[in-house]
Every structure is written in structure tokens, then in C-alpha cells.
Amino acid sequence: MPLLHRCMWLALLGVVGVISAEIMARIDDAVRSGTPLLASPSYTDLTMQDSLGTRGRPFARFEKWKLNGAGFRGQEVALAPEPECVRVVVMGASETFGYAESPGKEYPAQLADSLKRTGCYEVINTAITGLPTTGQIQLWENWVSRFEPSVVVIYASPAFYLSNEPPEFHAPKRGGATTPSASFAPRLVTRLKDRIDYPDFIQRRRVMRKIASAIRGKPVTWVYREVPDDRIALFRLHLDSLVTSVRAKGAVPVLVTHAMRFGASMNQEDQDLLRAWRQFSPRATEAVLMDFERRAAGTVRDEARDRNVPLVDVAGVMTGHTRWFADPIHFNDTGAGVIAGTIARTVERIPASASSVASRAQRSGVSHASLVNSNAGPRSIVRARPVKLANRSDPR
């Protein structure tokens, strides 16, 4: 009996300890980020679906991420831009929204800092985590274009096109918007996952098991052994549609090639990260993942040339520079500064007349090209610790 009582007391103390730790985690969240004590926030609460499609949830917050009243990351923004000020919209997925960077260090925020040194620019980060180019097109047409940008920077993520099924256009949700998750979720578990680093050999085994589970029972041809041409063609088709839609609203599109951590030579850490990256696109081998990124960068260059669109070749500048990445595709603070400065140099070269023409085109409803043709003038570092992908959900 004494042994039984001792075990019961130990179990009770363990329960009390866990409950106390959960309460302390919630108090800490309330103090640091204003999260209500009884809330069960989730990363998915940052987005919603309504009649406009998938977009950021106004005033949503989760951990370090906070959205404004328009559902964008950053300060509050009015529908109409300030007079004589160039409004720049940045579109993309998690690489643009900000994932591994410190708050305020995501590249659209650093782009705003770079541009304000040379003139009046307003940068709006409209990126949505996990949203492929098809969703970006709908987001632009139904919501972002209402904010009348003069310049639209497009950082498209190729990896979506290696998913089991290719990206599609989804019908907008009828009725009210989706509501945040109300189910209880212990925050202590999330904190432990974020802070516990499993040994490398355990990480490798977990990743390999997940990949093996995904391809089990599939025919041999299901796995891509070389870059699928149809997926590259679809990537370009969707990118071209977004460029066309942006121009139709009178704005100047700027295309940005997609950068990745991996270069010609790779160490063990790179190989582990590459294999971990594959768990989100199990149809593609590790070699195909990297080849697809390179082919996609070439596709963006071709699209920019054929459509006479300003190009920012970030892949040419950053790919292979591991010190600028926190994982295969997400930037650390230093890397975000590099891409911000690279984009800023291109945006600054867009003639002011083109920006004003774009703004007038949006208000009048005529095309950017027709207004240009009717006007004289121009026509024209500390290394961050890599994110352990085996402990994360799909970061795209």
C-alpha cells in the first residue's frame, strides 16, 4: 500500500506540473503577444475563405505573426494610395509572408526600409502561406487589386507544382467566412516541439518513414525521376495569367526568380534538409526537386523576356548561399535583407511616369499600355540555425 500511495502522489504531482506548465505558457503568450488565455490559436487561423477566395483573416494573430484589418502582414493600409507615393504590392507564399525571420525582418518589410531611402514608397505584404499561383491570381483579382498598387512584385513558389495533384482554381466560398478553430489545443505541446531538437539519426528515420509511407502502394511511374514538363508548362501558364491580370488592372508586374539553399556542392546538413524537404513533395526525388527549381527559374526569366516584364533574378544571386537560408527555401534575417535589396534596385528603376500611369489606369479603368502610348516620356551577416523540417508541417 505505501508503494501504491507513493505512485498515486507522484502521478498527481505530475498532473499538477503539466497543468501548471500549460497555464504558464498561456500567461506568457498573453503577456508577449496578447493572446487570450482561453484561446486555442493555430497557424491556420491566419487565413480564411469567403466569397473573395482564400485570404488573410483581418486582425488575426498567431505567435509572432499579426495581420492588419485588411488581412495583410504589416501596418494598417487604406484602399487608396497616398498622392505622389508609389504603392508596391508583394505577392507570394510563406517565403514572402515571412517564416523563419524575426518580426519586422521579413523581406517585404526590409524592402520598405530600402525603398524609403530613395523616395515615397509604400510596400504592402499581401502574401498568404500555402497559397500557390492559382490562389494568388484569385487573391489579386478579388481583393489585392482594390488597393490600387502601381507595382506588383511576384515571387512565385515552384514547389507547389510538384505536389501529388497540381494546383487548381477553387470556387469561392458562398456565405460567411470560415471561422477560426475553436477546439482546445495545448500550447505546451507546441512549445516543446519548437524547442526540442531530435538527434540527426532520429530525424532521418522519421523523414524516411514519412516518405516511404507516402509512396507505398503507388506504381513506379508515380514518382518523378525527371522534371515533369507538363508541371513546368502549368507553372508558366499560371504565372502568365497573373502577369496578364496585373497588367489588366493597370499595374506594373515585376517577376522574381525563386531561390533555394542548395548549390552545386552539399554537405551532410544540406543533404538532410533536402531529404526533409521531399516529405512535402514525395512524388519527386531529391534530384528532381532541385532540377525543378532551376527549370522554374529559367521559366520565370523566359516569361519576363517574352512579356517585357521587369525581372529580379534572385535565384542567380542567392541560390547556393546557405548562410542566407534557414531551411531549403525560407530566408533568415540576413537573407531577407539580401533579397529585399535586390528587389529594391529594380523597383527604383521603374520610371515614376509608369507608376503614375498605372495609378491613373486603375482609377479610369483603361489599360496601362494604352495610357503609356498616349503619354510622352519613358516607356519603359549572422548565420541562423536551420529549421528542423521533420518537426514542422508543410512550411510553404
Mean pLDDT of the chain: 84
With bands split at pLDDT 50, 70 and 90, how would you rate the model's confidence at 8? confident
pLDDT recorded at residue 211: 93
User: What is the reported pLDDT for 316?
Assistant: 97
State pTM to two decimals.
0.82
Give the Cα separation of 265 and 274 in Å (integer).
13
Give per-residue burial for 357-396: e unless 16+ CB within 10 Å, then b: bbbebbeeeeebeebbeeeeeeeeeeebebbbbbbeeebb
- Give residue 386's pLDDT: 39
- Cell numbers representing residue 111 in the block: 524592402
Rounded Cα distance, 213 and 26, in Å = 35
Share of the chain above pLDDT 90, in %: 64
Return the pLDDT at 355.
52
87, 250 contact by CB (below 8 A): no
User: pLDDT band at 367, cuts 50/70/90?
Assistant: very low
Whole-number pLDDT of residue 223: 96
Q: Quote the pLDDT of residue 378.
A: 27
pLDDT tens, position by position, 116-141? 999 999 999 999 999 999 999 999 99
Percent of the chain surpassing pLDDT 70: 75
SS3 category, 312: strand
Range with the lowest mean pLDDT among 44-48, 161-165, 324-328, 333-337?
44-48
Supply the pLDDT for residue 170.
87
> Is there a contact between 58 and 69 (Cβ–Cβ < 8 Å)?
yes
Q: Computed over its alpha carbons, how large is the radius of gyration of the chain?
A: 23
Burial class of 246 by CB neighbour count within 10 A (0 to 12, 13 to 18, 19+): buried
pLDDT of residue 377: 30
Query: Which set of grid coordinates corresponds to residue 247?
Result: 497588367
pLDDT of amino acid 271: 94
Asked whether 108 and 322 are in contact (CB, 8 A), the reply is no
Q: How does pLDDT run across 255-307, given as a tens digit for each residue? A: 999 999 999 899 999 999 999 999 999 999 999 999 999 999 999 999 999 99
Kind plus residue range of the DSSP H or E element containing 124 = strand 121-125
Number of H-type helices and E-type strands within the chain? 13, 9
pLDDT digits (tens, 9 = 90+) for 148-165: 999 999 999 999 999 999
* Maximum mean pLDDT: which of 31-45, 175-189, 227-241: 227-241
Query: Could you tell me which CATH number the domain at 55-170+223-393 has?
Result: 3.40.50.1110
Residue 364 has pLDDT above 70, yes or no: no
